Amino acid sequence: MALLKAVKAPHETRTRILDAAEELFMQHGFEGTSMRLLTGRAGVNLAAVNYHFGSKDALIEAVFRRRLDPMNAGRLAALERLEKEAAGRALAPEAIIRAFIGESLRMIEDTRGGGRNFIRLLGRTYTEPAKPIRVLIGQLYAPVMERYKAALERALPQMPRDELVWRMHFMFGTLSYTLAATDTVQLIAGVKPEDRYDARLLEERLSVFLAAGLDAPLKSTVKKAA
């Protein structure tokens, strides 16, 4: 029957390539990772990437889709769960923030499944110069961002729309930089190594920091400097 076909390791080669790509793209970037290095690490033939994915660019897209689609679905689900529980009452901004960042942070504890590799790769990619990748990321994120923007607008009805959009940018920047750069460019000494991958602690620190920034009182007048 159709149900029984391909029992063992249905897409093993595909998966091995995706896993190796995740790790190597994170370490060396897209252009810095050659097909020979990648296929060597994955233990597959050089031609396997082009056979299974078509091209290197298509592989990059597949790497993102594999993780980002469920992650963003999780973000939407978390927000809806939150709104259901609230049953019409206003949501606390910090709860919305936690729903958004929690999904990323939980992946950073996943050392086995390679989720951490992906999260750090993702953080890198927000500032990626290559245009097709930027467009892809933008497309994959657009629905989530719209949804969270709407939720925050309801949670902070008194805040001007302009200001809220900027603060969302700030929040998003903090998250992506924290995920991507804390263990690469060590600009500020003093982070305890054991705290670096403690997702629970990081979620606490981030959400407290971000919630305060998001709720910061507006200065009604821009003070004029001398």
Q: Which residues have a Cβ under 8 Å from the Cβ of 9 and sit 6 or more positions away?
A: none
Q: Does 54 bind a copy of itself (CB under 8 A)?
A: no
Pick the binder of a copy of itself from 163, 193, 220, 226 (CB under 8 A). Answer: 163
Q: Does 193 bind a copy of itself (CB under 8 A)?
A: no
**Alpha helix ranges (H) inside the chain:** 12-28, 35-42, 48-52, 56-86, 93-108, 115-125, 131-155, 161-181, 199-214
Stretch that binds a copy of itself, among 14-22, 44-52, 60-68, 158-166 (CB under 8 A): 158-166
Burial class (CB in 10 A: 0-12, 13-18, 19+), 161: exposed
Dihedral-angle region of residue 45 (phi above 0 means left; psi in -120 to 50 means alpha; beta otherwise): beta
Q: Does 44 bind DNA (CB under 7 A)?
A: yes
Minimum gap (Å) between residue 159 Cβ and a copy of itself: 12
The item of a copy of itself, DNA, none sharing an interface with residue 181, based on CB under 5 to 8 Å by kind, is a copy of itself
Q: Does 33 bind DNA (CB under 7 A)?
A: yes
The vertex-44 CA angle with 42 and 48, nearest 5°, equals 115
Using N-to-C axis directions, what is the helix angle for 56-86 and 93-108, rounded to 10°? 140
Give the Cβ contact number of residue 3 at 10 Å.
Answer: 5
Pick the binder of a copy of itself from 2, 218, 220, 226 (CB under 8 A). Answer: 218
Site size toward a copy of itself, by CB under 8 A: 68
Q: Does 45 bind DNA (CB under 7 A)?
A: yes
Chain contacts with a copy of itself (rule: CB under 8 A): 26-29, 31-32, 123-124, 126-130, 134, 137-138, 141-142, 145-146, 149, 161-163, 165-170, 172-178, 180-182, 184-192, 195, 200-201, 204-206, 208-219, 222
